[in-house]
Structure 1
Amino acid sequence: MTETVGSATLIPSQPKPPALPAGTAGTATAPNSESCDEVVERHKRRTAITGQEVVACVVVGEEGKLPEQGDMRVAAPLELPQYCYDNAFDGQWWGTREEACRIRGVRVDITNVQTGQIVGQLLLNEYAYAYGSSTTLNWAQQVEVSLYGGWGTIAGTTVDARTECSGACTTSSSDFPRQSVILDTRQGGEAYFRGTSSAVGSTGNANASWHYRFYNPAWVGGRTTEVAAPYPTVRCDNAVPGYHIAGCIWPDWPGVLSYQWNTYPELANHIWNAQQSGLPGAYPGLAPNGSPLTRLTDETLKVKNRNKACPTSYPRPSGKSCDEYPFASTYQGASTGGGTGRTLEVCSISALPTGVTGATGYSACMINKKQNSEGGTGINKMYQENRILDRDPFHVWIWSTQD
């Protein structure tokens, strides 16, 4: 069942918003040291010495084949979220502030060095997953490969991997031993890392990756080129204002502030309609303007935003207080964001016009005082839990339970 508020329809949703793609951030793939053609050329002389005629190299792409529902998945070190499967092979990392995943295709081409003909292939999926907590400096990364098809000289193939971490991090442990590549199973490992930005006020980025190879004694050199699997950047800090707990997040994803319509009807109604009028901050796909809000930590500027949106000259009806959107603690606020004000007919602010649309400006409304106060507490809690620093982006998600 949907709820209708004015001309806007609120689609029933869920307490936790869906994951978002990282866009171009975090999706770069470190190039292999050589192309397949270069590998073939380099091994031509070697074949005359060893008698081996085929060489193998890895091609990373977007093609792949997911297993049937439920097949193989229980074998994972930690199961990937369902949205990873829903968005497999699209070339994107998907995730939230505390986890990220990607499923991509990997192909091993086995080539006759003399003729240049492909005489065999391994067809695999790569399952990459990273997860952590915003209240700890530790995080984990796992990678798995799964053979779903192949032909030619592939019997006896094995795989192993190593990890790297650069920037503000150390490697706590890494485990991906040599394993046989077997049809319809997963071979993989996991590693644990720790951020080094623990001092109050410190911030540091870390970039960790997996690097794996396939091995077979029938191939020239006995192994493939190395596959690089870099993961999205992790940011660790102890710099959230007023919150001296260190932790790590994935900054490629914005934070999310969630308000349930059923719990905060007046607050949610104001924010929802302000977003539907074109103001920024809505969760992507739920309003015309999906650009995020960005946090403002300067106290003087926050006061200016609040005073412009909700001046003391506006009469406060009994039991109500003035709510502003975008929030005073954002760069999109009334003063720092610029533009003129707007309101709703139910908001009891005669000094501002109704029916205004557009991406610039702000909205003010007199709403239930308790809801307004608890809404402000929710903002501060979200800033802490999502480790939102100055200018960090976040969205505001308005959701409703289904009847």
Structure 2
Amino acid sequence: MLGLLGSYLTTAQASQATNAAVGTAQAASAALAPTDDTPLPEDLDDSSEELNDDISQPVPETEDGAPAVLGDTPGDGSAQDDGIGSPDPLAAAESLSIMCRTRMLIAIRDGSDVPIPCATWDSTPLTSEMRAAASAWPTPTWCDDDGVSNKWYVNRFKACGIFSATLNVINPRTGATVGTMHYLTRAYAYSGRDVKNWAYQVELMQVSATGSAVGMSASGRATCAAKCKVTDSKFPSQPMSSSKDAVGQFFLETTINTSTKGQVGEGQATAAWVFTKAGVSPSNEISLPTPPVRCDNALPGTSKPGCVMPYIPEMVYAKTGEYPQLAQHIEDAQNIKNLPGKHGTTSYLTRLTDKAKITQNRNTACPTSLPRPLLASCDEYPFASTWQGASTGGSYSQRMIDAKQNTGGGRTVSLFYLYNRIIEKDRFLVWIK
């Protein structure tokens, strides 16, 4: 279904991109397996590379919850440093209509009666025919359980959406519509946690066509704005059909200096295509941008760059899992003391990478003067490795819990940061189940 999109990524990553639903708790604690050698968050800094091997390992993904609609909570996107906004194809519908009217006026001025195809995104309710076509189109359940929604769905490394559009063919002399095509666009984009490339694919499926809109072909191109470039673009002319999709495949690469640590930049790919047919004018160009993709080489513990989607991940601790005392402490801290980071809220935790500040947070919440019971250690929440910690944040909770659970839970946080590429001031939540 994703075709050649996996060619720039590892076999495991390509497999993850096409497999079953991915939920909000990607890389949840149940899927992580820290060892005694896994460093704690405070042991990592910009120059450390202890986790270079770990970041390239396949990570099981859970199916708790669903990816967010772009712009919704919790996947509402981080601040776009490069001025890139969240894409909304329907917002372009009016400009596409203006473009078509302009072409019509030019044709009338020139006395042309060559039919003019006008492509635009649909803003009207879907027909039963469109819904039936969408439901028959193989689509990952994590992408959109409701069929066509004209929205992007995102998780940390993938984005998907199904968008409806119409092509009207108009006789400029009479103003009459002499043909109509309804079609769907299925769009995928996905990145990798340990590569500087990402991929984008669009598939166009004709739902219905009448008159002069029958027999159209589609061809296109890709561009990339801000900190990225197109490394490969394949969208040759292909006939529109209800039995075979017209496919465009594109590969993108960040233009940040990935050889230097601490670099961060966003890029946004746009696929654009036109419709052609003998005897009619080429259509206007219609385009679909991806969500902004953030690439960085600023992840403590690894020198490998990677790219993520604008999605805020959640870490899961289960009260019946490996760290029940730690999970209970966090649940009490979130519910009783109303501390940030709780699932279903917008009161996020944000990562802190400064080792001195992390130590200060820990010493504030758990000073050495506190007596420790046998086989227990002091656990603090919010995590010391967040800006909401005891010193850099304010309110906090402390509790003596089993020392092995405390250390193991801390190492799990390191892997959660790693597998989700959570860098300085990235937001996340902690879900206690």
**Does the TM-score normalized on the shorter chain lie above 0.5?**
yes
Structure 1: distance between partners of 2:363 and 2:205: 59
Equivalent residue for 1:20, pick from 54, 63, 68: 68
AA in 1 matched with 2:202? V
Trace 1:343-362 onto structure 2 (pairs within 5 A): 361-362=395-396
Aligned to 2:118: 57
Equivalent residue for 2:272, pick from 192, 211, 216: 211
Measured against aligned partners, the alpha-carbon deviations of 1:10-55 in whole angstroms (never above 9, x if no partner) come to: xxxx934421122075224484564332232222234x34x42x32
Equivalent residue for 2:290, pick from 222, 231, 239: 231
Q: Which stretches in structure 1 are left out of the alignment for 5+ residues?
A: 1-13, 74-79, 339-360
The structure with the largest helix share of the pair is 2
Question: Which segment is superposed worse, 139-148 or 315-324?
Answer: 315-324
Alignment of 1:200 with 2:200, yes or no, is no
Alignment of 1:314 with 2:370, yes or no, is yes
Aligned to 2:46: none
Structure 2: distance between partners of 1:390 and 1:264: 26
Structure 2: distance between partners of 1:397 and 1:182: 45
Aligned to 1:329: 385
Displacement of 1:311 in angstroms is 2.7
AA in 2 matched with 1:297? T
Q: The residue matched to 1:301 in structure 2 has which SS?
A: helix
Alignment check: 8 A CA contact 1:148 1:184 kept: no
Measured against aligned partners, the alpha-carbon deviations of 1:175-216 in whole angstroms (never above 9, x if no partner) come to: 111111112542112111222332132222222110111112
Structure 2: distance between partners of 1:238 and 1:305: 26
Alignment check: 8 A CA contact 2:150 2:164 kept: no
Aligned to 2:81: none
Structure 1: distance between partners of 2:317 and 2:153: 23
Trace 1:2-401 onto structure 2 (pairs within 5 A): 15-17=62-64, 18-23=66-71, 25-29=85-89, 31=92, 34-46=98-110, 48-49=111-112, 51-52=113-114, 54-62=115-123, 63-64=125-126, 65-67=130-132, 71-73=136-138, 80-86=139-145, 88-197=147-256, 198-201=258-261, 202-219=263-280, 221=281, 223-250=282-309, 252-261=310-319, 262-277=321-336, 278-284=338-344, 289-338=345-394, 361-399=395-433
State the Cα RMSD in Å. Answer: 2.4
- % same residue: 34
Aligned to 2:8: none
* TM-score (normalised: structure 1): 0.79
Structure 1: distance between partners of 2:210 and 2:385: 59
Q: The residue matched to 1:35 in structure 2 has which SS?
A: helix
Structure 1: distance between partners of 2:134 and 2:167: 25
AA in 2 matched with 1:254? I
- Return closer, same or farther for 1:88/1:27 CA change in 2, 3 Å cut-off: farther
Alignment check: 8 A CA contact 1:26 1:93 kept: no
Q: The residue matched to 2:414 in structure 1 has which SS?
A: helix
Structure 2: distance between partners of 1:273 and 1:120: 63
Higher relative contact order, chain-length normalized (CA < 8 Å, sep 6+): 2
Measured against aligned partners, the alpha-carbon deviations of 1:75-128 in whole angstroms (never above 9, x if no partner) come to: xxxxx5312222544443211111111211111122232343434321111111
AA in 1 matched with 2:62? P
Displacement of 1:334 in angstroms is 1.9
Aligned to 1:10: none
Structure 1: distance between partners of 2:275 and 2:134: 27
Structure 1: distance between partners of 2:329 and 2:162: 39
AA in 2 matched with 1:125? L
AA in 2 matched with 1:257? M
Q: The residue matched to 1:85 in structure 2 has which SS?
A: coil
Alignment check: 8 A CA contact 2:234 2:250 kept: yes
* TM-score (normalised: structure 2): 0.74
Displacement of 1:274 in angstroms is 2.5
AA in 2 matched with 1:102? G
Alignment check: 8 A CA contact 1:196 1:236 kept: no
Structure 1: distance between partners of 2:426 and 2:278: 51
AA in 1 matched with 2:410? G
Q: Which stretches in structure 2 are left out of the alignment for 5+ residues?
A: 1-60, 77-84
AA in 2 matched with 1:39? R
Question: Which segment is superposed worse, 363-372 or 225-234?
Answer: 363-372
